Every structure is written in structure tokens, then in C-alpha cells.
């Protein structure tokens, strides 16, 4: 586990020497892969990332957290709370989870760093999702029987072949990426500060299949 964590860190980052673009005036302002490397507007981008598992309870607390984060030399902020609150609508400054979430995004932008959003950890699949689609391969009755008493995440093995599970996750991604941050005025899908969008994490598919 330690070896894998080290590989991930080395993969995502090394040193902080790239410019930061706040707004996407042109497509080149988004982080993209060129010649096997991350780049922004044709300039190579190097990232050193870390994560926060909690949101500050006030804007001042968030500002301090972001300042400490930057003081440690990081320029990529992994936030595992993205999409954890439904509905995602809020009134700016109301102190709700989404308000603080979006304030954190904006604070990262203001600090000159990038955002890394984790989409897989804040959605669950349960029996109530049986009617999300009409799956011709698995009947409603069979799916409800298989899901009885279970609450699963997209990291479950059944995401690979189950259309209902896939649809719940895709709907979640659509809701999150179309959310408009009231502090930046941008949909997450249009925000150039989002350098990485994490869709898969710790699937452990092969070990589970061979267990």
C-alpha cells in the first residue's frame, strides 16, 4: 500500500514552476495532456498534490487551511467532499456544505493553486435506484433482490457490468460537473482551476474477482 501511494504521488507531481491561469478565455487555458505531460496553454505543468478530508467551518478557517497548504509547497488540492451535499443549490454565504465547498474552490484559485476533484466517494447506489433505467438484461425484481439491504459505491465490482449502477454514477457526475460555483461564476465543467477529475479509485477489481 505504501509503495502504491508513493507511485501515485510521484506520478502527479514534482516541482512548482508553472504559471496558473484563472479563467478559461481560450481552450488552451485548460489543463491538458501534450506529448505525455500535463500542460496549460502549451506550457508544461508540474503538480505536487495533497488532500483535505474536511471543510473549514467558516471562510476564515478555510483561508487558513489553504494558506497552510500553500506554505507547505503544494499546488494541487484534492477535495474528497465534492458532490457530498444534495441539493447542490445554496445562497452565497449561507454556511451550507456546498457554500463552503465552493468557497474552498475559490480560495484555492485565489492562492494560485489547482483543484483536484474526487467524484467517486460521494455517491451511493441502493435499492431505491431500481427505476433509474429499464435494464433489459436484469429484471426489476432480480435487481431488488440482489440489492436488498445493500448500499454500494461506484467502486463496487458491479459497476463494470450493471447498467443501473453505471447510470446512477453517470447521473451524479452530470449533476456535479454542471453545478455553478457562485464564487467563481463557473460550472465545474468550465473551471480551468480543476486540473484533475478523479473517476476511479481503488477498484481492486481483479482481487475481488479471484477472492
Mean pLDDT of 46-64: 86
Distances 150 to 36, 144, 167 between C-alpha atoms, Å: 41, 10, 17
pLDDT at 211: 65
β-pairing verdict for 186-187 and 43-44: unpaired
Share of the chain above pLDDT 70, in %: 82
Query: What mean pLDDT comes out for the span 21-29?
Result: 44
What pLDDT is attached to residue 27? 43
Is 85 or 41 the better-scoring residue by pLDDT?
A: 41
- Contact yes or no for 83/123 (Cβ under 8 A): yes
Nearest to 162 by CA among 145, 138, 141: 138
**12-26, 77-91, 134-148: lowest mean pLDDT where?**
12-26
Residue 4 CA to residue 207 CA, distance in Å, equals 15
On the 0-12 / 13-18 / 19+ scale of CB atoms within 10 A, 121 is middle
pLDDT mean over 85-109: 89
Q: Is 80 exceeded by the pLDDT of residue 201?
A: no
Amino acid at each position: 500500500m505504501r509503495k502504491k501511494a508513493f507511485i501515485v504521488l510521484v506520478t502527479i507531481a514534482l516541482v512548482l514552476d508553472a504559471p496558473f491561469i484563472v479563467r478559461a478565455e481560450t481552450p488552451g487555458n485548460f489543463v491538458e495532456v501534450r506529448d505525455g505531460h500535463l500542460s496549460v496553454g502549451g506550457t508544461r505543468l508540474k503538480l505536487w498534490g495533497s488532500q483535505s478530508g474536511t471543510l473549514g467551518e467558516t471562510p476564515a478557517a478555510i483561508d487558513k487551511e489553504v494558506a497552510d497548504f500553500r506554505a507547505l509547497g503544494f499546488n494541487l488540492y484534492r477535495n474528497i467532499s465534492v458532490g457530498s451535499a444534495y441539493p447542490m443549490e445554496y445562497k452565497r454565504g449561507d454556511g451550507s456544505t456546498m457554500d463552503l465547498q465552493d468557497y474552498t474552490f475559490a480560495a484555492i484559485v485565489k492562492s494560485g493553486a489547482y483543484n483536484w476533484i474526487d467524484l467517486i466517494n460521494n455517491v451511493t447506489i441502493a435499492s431505491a435506484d431500481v427505476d433509474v433505467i429499464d435494464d433489459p438484461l436484469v429484471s426489476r425484481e432480480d435487481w431488488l433482490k440482489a440489492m436488498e439491504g445493500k448500499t454500494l459505491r461506484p467502486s463496487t465490482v458491479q459497476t463494470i457490468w450493471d447498467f443501473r449502477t453505471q447510470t446512477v454514477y453517470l447521473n451524479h457526475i452530470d449533476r456535479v460537473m454542471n453545478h455553478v460555483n457562485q464564487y467563481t461564476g463557473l460550472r465545474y465543467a468550465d473551471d480551468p482551476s480543476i486540473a484533475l477529475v478523479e473517476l476511479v479509485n481503488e477498484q481492486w477489481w481483479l482481487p475481488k474477482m479471484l477472492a
